Each structure stands twice: as C-alpha cells, then as structure tokens.
A and B are shown apart, each in its own frame.
Chain A
Amino acid sequence: MLLVVFFLEDEALLKDTLIQVDYRFEDVNGVRSGLNDVSYLADDGIAGIVYLADRLAKPVLIEGPAGTGKTQLAKSVAEMSDARLIRLQCYEGLDESKALYEWNYKKQLLRIQAEDDTRDWSEIEDDLFSEDFLLSRPLLEAIRAEDPVVLLIDEVDRVEIETEALLLEILSEYQVSIPELGTVEGTQVPLVFLTSNGTRELSEALKRRCLYLYIDYPDLDREREIINAKVPGMDKNLADQIARIVRSIRQLDLKKHPSVSETLDWAKTLLLLGVEKIDADIATDTVNVLLKYRSDIEKATKEFADNPDSIEEVEEEGAA
C-alpha cells in the first residue's frame, strides 16, 4: 500500500486504487448469504445497497421506523466481514471534540511545564500540536484504523443541523482537516452506516453524499423467517401465526406499530409460556409485549376479541 501512495500523488486516483484493492463483496448474493450466516435476513434492497456502498465507496443512510434493524444491519455487516465496529452515538450537543478529535490539553500542559526556558517557543508549539497529543474520536479513528472497520453513526437526526456539517468532509473525502496539523487522510475507506429515525429532515448536503436505504417493517414471509431464525425452537406454525397477527396489527391505525424486535420478544414470550396455538385470550393477555401504549392495546384487543359485526364497522370506518 505504501508503494501505491508513493507513486500516485493524485488524490482521486489514490482513492480509486484503494477501493479497487479493497472490494469486500463479490456480488449481491454474496452479501445476502453472508448476512444470512450471521442471522440477519436481508431482502433484495438491503443486500443490493450494502453491495453498492462497497463498490461506490459511499456511506449508507438508513431510515425507517424504530426497531426494524437499522443499527443491527451495521453490526451484522461488521460481523460478517470480520471488521471492527466503531460506533458514534449522536445526541444533542455532540461536537467536534466528541466526534472527530481533541487535543489532549492536560498532556500538553505537562509538556510545557516539563520544558526548560532555553528552547524556542515556536519549536515547543510545533511539538505540542503533534500526533502525540491528539486524541482520536470515533470518526478519525475509523479512517485511520489499520484493521478493517465498519463505522456506525447512530441516530444522526439527533444532532443539530449545524453539527451535521462535521460529518460532510469525512463522508465524502474520507479525510479530516485539523487546522494545526493539516489534513489527515484515511488509510482506508470504511463502510459507513448512518441511521436516522426521521425526527427531522436531514440536510440536503448530507443526503447527497449517501446512498439512501429505507428499512420498512418486513413483509409476512420475511418476518416469519426472522422469527424462525432468531427464536430457536420455534414451531413453524406458531411463527406463521405470529407473523400474521403482527401484520394485522400493523394495519390498524396505532400510535406505535409493533417493531421487529417487539415481535421477537412476543415470540419468545409465547415460547416460554409453552403456547402452541394462539387464541384470542392468549393474544389479549400477552399483547402488552407488542404494544406499549394503553390506547393501542385497547384498540387491538377490541379488534381481535369482539364480535364480528363490530369488526366490520371499524374497518369500514378505517377505509372511509
């Protein structure tokens, strides 16, 4: 790799070369079966976009309802490609010193105190702002890592819109500019995943740099497969029934629809209770695993336990 750096000064060329050396995945099916092996069931879209992210060396912005496996995707990709997962959890008030890098000022102070007065100040200053005193935070760490890494920037919609700008350089150029040091270029192009729960619209600039992936609730077949894969010892028929009930519940007009993780919790609950077949009573008793709002629970219970006439009524209303 060093040799390549030496001969190719052109940055763009360098980037291309780096990528070509580093293709992680052969084809879309490879991605899918790889994810399958770490028991993440990807559909066509998910596998295809992960594959493209690698080929185009672009970050993936994942949006979708809570609990559909956005973060899990990044983790699973890391696991399947034997890479280290570096995670940056975003929150309101996140800044440069937490996301990118920070000067280790305590160490710098010590350095100054340890100095005798004979040396020239500018020398000391050069010394102070060198790699030794730099603390790398997740973003810098990810691009400087020597081993393969997957970078996960979680819940990016939580930072203020101004802070988003911090990410732009690293996401498009895979480099970080540090005023005192100059530009730190990446040793690799990591796979980057950004997740967002959509509490606010992300900036155009950020979206433009990313591939966009929307992970919705899985369809019936996929959900059934997920249950079978994630809950060992699950009876096939029961899994089918669970998936179908969850799908029906999601079609109701609820505050918060059951997520995949809640479906799995429910499946595990039923398994522990030794349920073989779900009837209305069991569903009503355990529905609080799936739904977390009182009004939602009431609505769902009403839907599934009342007499058929009232169901028809509600449905017509829903359609109107």
Chain B
Amino acid sequence: MSSTSKLNKSIHAGSEESPLLDLLNGFIVELRLAGLPVSLTESLDAMEAVSHIPIEDREAFKYALGATLVKNYSHWKSFEIVFEVYFSIRGSEYEIRDNDLTNSTDSEIDEAEYQQGEAPAGGGAMSGLSPEELQEMLFRALLNGDQAMLRLLARQSVIRYAGMEPGRPVGGTYYLYRTLRNLDLDSMLERLMKESREQALSELTQLEERLELDEYKNRIEELKKQIESEIRRSLVADRGVEAMARTLRKPLPEDVDFMHASREEMANLRRSLYPLTRKLAARLARRRKYGRRGPLDFRKTIRHSLSYGGVPAEPKFKYPRPSKPEIMVVADISGSVAAFARFTLHLLYAISSQFSKVRSFVFIDGLDEVTRFLEGVEDIGEAVHRVNTEADVVWVDGHSDYGHAFGVFWEKYGKDIGPKTTVLILGDARNNYHASQSWILKEAQQKARKLYWLNPEPKAYWDTGDSILGEYATHCDGAYEVRNLRQLEAFIEKLV
C-alpha cells in the first residue's frame, strides 16, 4: 500500500497527471495481486522504460514492461494475461492495432469488414456465411497457415458460437468450451492430414507425416489461443478491467494446489519440476560442502600453531562427516492424493544423490515396495507410470486403509528401519473409518531417526470427516501441510 502511494507521488511530481501512468499504476497493482513480487524501484523503472518506447509499438511496450517488472520466467504467463486484460481494449488512445491485419490483402476480407466485425453483435460479410462455409474457410486458413485470416475467423467463431451474453456470470472457460465444441478441431486435424497426403506428389514418409502433423497441431494450438484471447477481450469489454483481472487471477506455478490442479496446470507443474530439482540438488550439495563448521579442533590447531612459533594464529575446526540420511517413503496413491505422491516421489528420486538410500512403498489398502521401478532409471516419469500400473496395492476393495497398509509395512519392512532412517508418510489420512493401527507409527518413530507426515490437504480440513491425522500425528516428529511446489521444496530442504 505505502509503496503504491509513494509511486503515485513520484509520478505526479514528475509529470502532469496522465491517464497512461494511472493505467500503469493499476496494472502494477494487479500484478502484485496476482502474486508477482514487483518492487517500488522496479515500477519506477517501468515508468521510465515506457517513456523511451513509442507507445504505438505494442510488442515493444510489452517487452519494456516485462523486462522491468517480471524477473522470473515462470511468472511470464501471468504477466501476459494481465497485460492483455489491461492493454487490449482500452480507449482509442491506447488501442494498438495489429498492423499486419491491414496487409492481408489476399485474405478475401478487407479492412472495412473487419471493422464491422469488431462490434460484438455486428454483422459484416462473415456473419452471412453458413457454418459449412465458415468451416471451409477455417480449413483453408489452417492449411495455408494464414495468420491474419485465422485471427478473423477466431473472432467470428466466438461471436457465433460462444453465445456470450452481457452480464452472464460464467467464466471464460465455458465460452471457450462452447466455441471449440462447435468448431470440432479434432476432425479438422484429420482432414488437414488427409489433404496434405493427397497434395503430396509421392507417398509421405513416416517422418514427413509426423512433421506435417506437428505443424498443423501448432496452428490449431495457435487458433485456440486466438479464440481464448478473443473471449477474454469480449469479457473485459463486458465486465470491466478490474473485475476481469480478478477472475483471471491464477496461482503461480509454485502455488498451484496439487489436489486441484487442472490438466494444463499439471503439465506446467511437471515442467517446472525439473528445473526445481536441479536447483534443489545444487543448493543441497553446496550446503553439505560449506554449511557445516564443527567445533574447534584443538589438536589440529596446536599442531598448526607450531609453524607460527607456537602462536595459535589459525584456528582449525572439526568438519563432521555429514551422514546422508536414508529415506523410506510410504505413499498413499489412491485417487485424490495420487498426484501429490507422484510429485514427491519424482522430486525425491531426482535428488536421490543427496541421500544414502531411498526406498519407496506405495499403498491403497495393500502395500508394495516399488524401489525397483524407480531406482537407476533415467526416465522417472515412465517409472512412476509403471508404479501406478504394476504395483500390487489393492488388498480388498481399493479404498484407502491406512491401518492395514501400515500393518503390512511393519510386518515386512519394519526390521529395516534403523537409527539413520527417515520415514516419510504421504497421504491425507482419510482412513474410511478403518482401524488406525497408530501403534505402528509409535513403534516406527522410536526406531527411526525421524518420522514425518506430509499431507496435501489444507490444515483446516485435517481431522474432519474420516481424516484421522491428529491421531497419527501424535506419533510423528512433524506433520506438514504440503499443497504446492513451494511447500514441498521447503520441506525437502529441511530433510537433508
């Protein structure tokens, strides 16, 4: 808050009150609300940066803001969305027309019609087309990769199929779904492939076919993005910038909840997992190397003092040999928490060089050791897939039974728990009202170095319904809420 008001002051001191600066101000506030850490100096830099950029050049404008405000690539996507909401349909003085549209002379539709089509209810030549004709034009545009045409068609499809009504309280995804359903892009892809097979002089080789397919997929992806931003633009026009920005606010990748991540978010998560493990491994290795300074080594100091004539000028310390912990992971992989278990296993194995040994067990109501799938493989993703399909984890009905699973664990592997072992239990402790068998945890805790419980549910839900975490937690050295990558990273760092 204080930084914003300071910002206002400094802007107003420097120049006349200008709508652009107000706009930028709102933009920066929105970035902060979306979770991006924008500091005061950075916002001042942004102000200065845009003064060097011709405002008509929208791309440059965007990059100027991006370079000064966003210092982490994983935040770029959030930035782009906020940018689009704020700067895509401002009053005419900010509207930045995409110049290439006017150049599309060969695209059958001239600028005048484009202008008409801009009004959401407007007609124009395109609205006279039958659905088949529209489909045909879309097909041709995709086939030739005609960008300008695709943009127009995206606009037209939204007008036609999304069924947007002002003031209707539905999210953009609903409109997106409606539009895409009508366009039926899957069969479009098939048609495109067929067409290019026919066009080819000779039969397409495997490789060529694959390349064609990738090309069309990219174009269709591009079209989807166009449609999405088209919908967003109309929604902004309808609801106003602030309201729209609020509904679009999405958690940053490191804050996405494991249990409620959408498909796309999952893919994003998986992608950000790899750099994270690399970072974590580097950091842990470094700490092992430098972070440990033991007590004074008296003998060594005296011995060295001889070279200074008996003056202990250079104190020597004991460097304790850091013992690497042995990890045993016991993970619930039943429905709701499976994603979480997968991420944790993935992360642990990626940094397994930091541990002397990692053994993993998965359960639903039965329990199986899966170390063999995960150890020494290069592709963890595939290994996790094998765990899900091949491990023998169902005992009776495939509903979580922590008590029984712990029983099996204790009976078969309990003897392997030693004073160097850290046991991690992953799960939501929703036991379906079976017996808890919490004495096992008590015994295990006494034998093990540490015993931790990681729960992907928010703390407020613990011990509600059939969750009996409280009972288990009394026998753990700690029970932690681990709902997103940020929390997972913080926990693992503590582990080493």
Chain A residues at the B interface, C-beta cutoff of 8 Å: 28, 44-45, 48-49, 51-52, 55-56, 58, 60-61, 63-64, 92, 160, 198-201, 204, 207-208, 210-214, 220, 241, 244-245, 247-248, 251, 253, 255, 278-280, 283, 293-295, 303-308, 311
> Do B378 and A293 touch (CB < 8 A)?
yes
> Do A44 and B63 touch (CB < 8 A)?
yes
> A279 to B211, alpha carbons, bound, how many Å?
11
Closest to A296 in B: B378
Interface core residue of B41, B70, B206 (most chain A CB under 10 Å): B206
> A307 to B209, alpha carbons, bound, how many Å?
11
Given known contacts A49-B63, A283-B207, A304-B206, what 7 new A-B pairs fall within 8 Å (CB)? Answer: A52-B49, A63-B73, A92-B286, A204-B37, A204-B39, A241-B211, A278-B207
Q: What chain B residues lie within 8 Å of A307 (beta carbons)? A: 206
> Do B378 and A295 touch (CB < 8 A)?
yes
> A278 to B379, alpha carbons, bound, how many Å?
28
Q: What chain A residues lie within 8 Å of B63 (beta carbons)? A: 44-45, 48-49
Least CB distance from B492 to A in Å reads: 15
Closest to B42 in A: A208
> A200 to B431, alpha carbons, bound, how many Å?
40
Residue from B37, B68, B282 within 8 A of A211 (CB atoms):
B68
Chain B residues at the A interface, C-beta cutoff of 8 Å: 37, 39, 41-42, 45, 48-49, 52-53, 57, 59-60, 63-64, 66-68, 70-73, 76, 205-207, 209-211, 214-215, 218, 275, 278-279, 282-283, 286, 290, 378-379, 381
> Do A255 and B210 touch (CB < 8 A)?
no
Residue from A56, A199, A253, A311 within 8 A of B49 (CB atoms):
A56
> A306 to B210, alpha carbons, bound, how many Å?
11
Residue from A64, A279, A306 within 8 A of B205 (CB atoms):
A279
> A295 to B52, alpha carbons, bound, how many Å?
48
- Could you pull out 22 A-B pairs where Cβ atoms are within 8 angstroms? A28-B53, A28-B60, A45-B63, A48-B59, A48-B67, A49-B63, A51-B52, A52-B52, A52-B67, A56-B49, A58-B45, A199-B279, A200-B279, A208-B41, A208-B42, A211-B67, A212-B66, A212-B72, A278-B207, A279-B207, A306-B206, A307-B206
> Do A244 and B52 touch (CB < 8 A)?
no
Interface core residue of A214, A294, A308 (most chain B CB under 10 Å): A214
Least CB distance from B469 to A in Å reads: 31
| Contacts known (A48-B64, A279-B205); A198 close to B275, Cβ less than 8 A | yes
> Do B381 and A253 touch (CB < 8 A)?
yes
> A247 to B211, alpha carbons, bound, how many Å?
9
| Contacts known (A245-B211, A305-B206); A212 close to B381, Cβ less than 8 A | no
Q: What chain A residues lie within 8 Å of B70 (beta carbons)? A: 212
Least CB distance from B339 to A in Å reads: 12
Q: What chain B residues lie within 8 Å of A306 (beta carbons)? A: 206
> Do A207 and B71 touch (CB < 8 A)?
yes
Q: What chain A residues lie within 8 Å of B218 (beta carbons)? A: 220, 247
Closest to B49 in A: A52
Q: What chain B residues lie within 8 Å of A198 (beta carbons)? A: 275, 278-279
> Do A212 and B214 touch (CB < 8 A)?
no
Q: What chain B residues lie within 8 Å of A214 (beta carbons)? A: 73, 76
Q: What chain B residues lie within 8 Å of A220 (beta carbons)? A: 218
| Contacts known (A61-B71, A212-B70); A56 close to B52, Cβ less than 8 A | yes
Q: What chain B residues lie within 8 Å of A247 (beta carbons)? A: 214, 218
Closest to B73 in A: A214
> Do B60 and A44 touch (CB < 8 A)?
yes
Q: What chain A residues lie within 8 Å of B205 (beta carbons)? A: 279-280
Q: What chain B residues lie within 8 Å of A60 (beta carbons)? A: 67
Interface core residue of B42, B210, B283, B378 (most chain A CB under 10 Å): B210
Least CB distance from B329 to A in Å reads: 23
| Contacts known (A48-B64, A211-B67); A308 close to B209, Cβ less than 8 A | yes
> A214 to B327, alpha carbons, bound, how many Å?
37
Least CB distance from B326 to A in Å reads: 26
Least CB distance from B144 to A in Å reads: 15
Q: What chain B residues lie within 8 Å of A305 (beta carbons)? A: 206
> Do B282 and A208 touch (CB < 8 A)?
no
| Contacts known (A63-B73, A255-B378); A244 close to B53, Cβ less than 8 A | no
Closest to B267 in A: A319
> A174 to B312, alpha carbons, bound, how many Å?
41
Q: What chain B residues lie within 8 Å of A213 (beta carbons)? A: 67
Q: What chain A residues lie within 8 Å of B275 (beta carbons)? A: 198
Give the 8 A-B CB pairs with smallest separation, nearest first: A207-B71, A295-B378, A211-B67, A55-B52, A48-B63, A212-B71, A45-B63, A214-B73
> A207 to B64, alpha carbons, bound, how many Å?
15
Q: What chain A residues lie within 8 Å of B209 (beta carbons)? A: 308
Closest to B279 in A: A200
> A248 to B206, alpha carbons, bound, how many Å?
13
Least CB distance from B284 to A in Å reads: 11
> A245 to B212, alpha carbons, bound, how many Å?
10
Closest to A280 in B: B207
Least CB distance from B164 to A in Å reads: 28
Least CB distance from B155 to A in Å reads: 23
> A96 to B147, alpha carbons, bound, how many Å?
53
> A201 to B486, alpha carbons, bound, how many Å?
13
Residue from A64, A211, A241, A244 within 8 A of B214 (CB atoms):
A244
> A294 to B70, alpha carbons, bound, how many Å?
36
> A214 to B60, alpha carbons, bound, how many Å?
15
| Contacts known (A55-B52, A244-B215, A308-B209); A199 close to B278, Cβ less than 8 A | yes
> A134 to B178, alpha carbons, bound, how many Å?
71
Closest to A210 in B: B71
> Do B45 and A295 touch (CB < 8 A)?
no
Q: What chain A residues lie within 8 Å of B215 (beta carbons)? A: 244
Q: What chain A residues lie within 8 Å of B71 (beta carbons)? A: 61, 207-208, 210, 212
Q: What chain A residues lie within 8 Å of B59 (beta carbons)? A: 44-45, 48
Least CB distance from A206 to B in Å reads: 9
> Do B48 and A56 touch (CB < 8 A)?
yes
